[in-house]
Amino acid sequence: MLHWRILPILSLHHACYLRERRQQVFPLYHSRWRSKFNPVPSIDLIIYEAADQTAGLTLAARLSEDASASVLVLEAGEGNLNDPALLRPASYGSHYGNKRYDWDHSTVKQKHANGRIVPWHRGKGLGGSSAINFMGWNKPPADEIDDWGHLGNEGWNWENYQRFIARTEGFVEPPTSVKEKFNMNFDDESVGRQGPLKLGFPGLMNESEMLLQKTFLDAGIPLAPRPVRIFSR
């Protein structure tokens, strides 16, 4: 017997602030669920991904940490598990316009852009737009997060956001030799290091990185004091 409790998720921020429990995540791909789950399991919570984002999977992962709970994720599109087209960072931009991976939205004509219609790419499939972000990880500006609180949403501020998002982050520093070669210093970085999502710099870096850095410096653009959280506090 199914116990239906449907929760639409609109953003990763919603997922990070909701209470945490956890056990088993059931990805659901359109009408295929009957063949995947036979007999149909008892489900405590159904998460409906409403905005092509990562938030639903984040929440499902937290909730399913409770071994007594079962969680079902409703996500449009394919599972795309172990798909090299998504796991290969060098495939930058190849997903755009591809209906298998991209909803391929467009804006209306933009008044201040000479009437241009601008593509608005959103990920289609398990994980939403995180599937087509070239395996990049970044954070919004701290001021934007604080603005949620200024609009009357108590508790929505950068300090709380950082505290919760750090539970997801598992930042791995480069080897000492690489840090010395490329002038890297992470002592002042407030980034999570014990979370399940492993973050790090590319495994291969070459001298061209330093030449590019020197070009910026020569142009008067200083080094970012905290490159991992450049727009944050």
Q: CA neighbours within 13 Å on the CB side: how many for 71?
A: 25
Q: Report the pLDDT value the prediction gives residue 151, as an integer from 0 to 100.
A: 94
- pTM for this structure? 0.67
Helices (H) and strands (E) in the chain, counts: 8, 8
Q: Residues 56-70: pLDDT tens digits?
A: 777 888 888 888 888
Could you tell me what percent of the chain has a pLDDT over 90?
21
Average pLDDT over residues 6-14: 43
3-state secondary structure of 1: coil
Alpha carbon separation from 49 to 13, 150, 160, 177, 229 (Å, rounded)? 14, 27, 23, 42, 27
Check whether the bond before 39 is cis (ω within 30° of 0). Answer: yes
β-pair type (169-171, 197-199)? parallel
Q: Residues 65-110: pLDDT tens digits?
A: 888 888 888 888 888 888 988 888 778 889 999 999 999 999 999 9
3-state secondary structure of 62: helix
CB of 26 closer than 8 Å to CB of 73? yes
Query: Considering only CA atoms, which of 133, 130, 108, 105 is closest in space to residue 119?
Result: 105
Instruction: Return the DSSP state at 37.
Output: S
Q: Residues 197-217: pLDDT tens digits?
A: 888 888 777 788 788 888 999
